[in-house]
Amino acid sequence: MKAFATPILAILMAGAATLASAQAHQHAGHGPHEPTATNAAAALSEGEVKKIDKEAGKITLRHGEIRNLNMAAMTMVLRVQDPAMLDQVEVGDKVQFAAERLNGAITIVQMQKTQ
């Protein structure tokens, strides 16, 4: 029985080592998962403020494509992650913003006025 178990154990250990090596290779070269300044700028979408609802924490934007959400240009109501963002803009302002899907809702996580 011992003569049979030793080769099986060796095969299992070799397989585990190969799997660990493949997983390490697959993730090699990946840096931190934080967006870089270049990636963050590329992720920003452009929009125009159409309506602000401070009580609901929402803003209506006519926006261009939101690439990270695979969303075409349109006008829509979006939640804001931080209600203070709504104090920084007025109807008619042009903005750049980043949106993500949070808790099932498309939410603006970053927004700044543009000229």
Average pLDDT over residues 15-44: 50
> Where residue 115 falls among pLDDT bands split at 50, 70, 90?
confident
**Total number of domains in the chain:** 2
For residue 77, give the CATH number of its domain: 2.40.50.320
Span 35-84, pLDDT tens digits: 444 445 558 999 999 999 999 999 999 999 999 999 999 999 999 999 99
- Are 56 and 105 contained in the same domain? yes
pLDDT at 43: 82
- Are 49 and 2 contained in the same domain? no
Tell me if 38 is assigned to some domain: no
Tell me if 90 is assigned to some domain: yes
CA 70/CA 49 separation, integer angstroms: 21
Whole-model pTM: value is: 0.64
Long-range contacts from 103-110, C-beta under 8 angstroms, 24+ separation? 105/79, 106/69, 106/71, 106/76, 106/78, 106/79, 107/78, 107/79, 107/80, 107/81, 108/59, 108/78, 108/79, 108/80, 108/81, 109/81, 110/40, 110/44
pLDDT at 38: 41
Residue 9 has pLDDT above 80, yes or no: no
Tell me if 80 is assigned to some domain: yes
Q: Can you give the residue range of the structural domain that contains 61?
A: 43-113
- Mean residue pLDDT of the chain comes to 79
- Are 67 and 98 contained in the same domain? yes
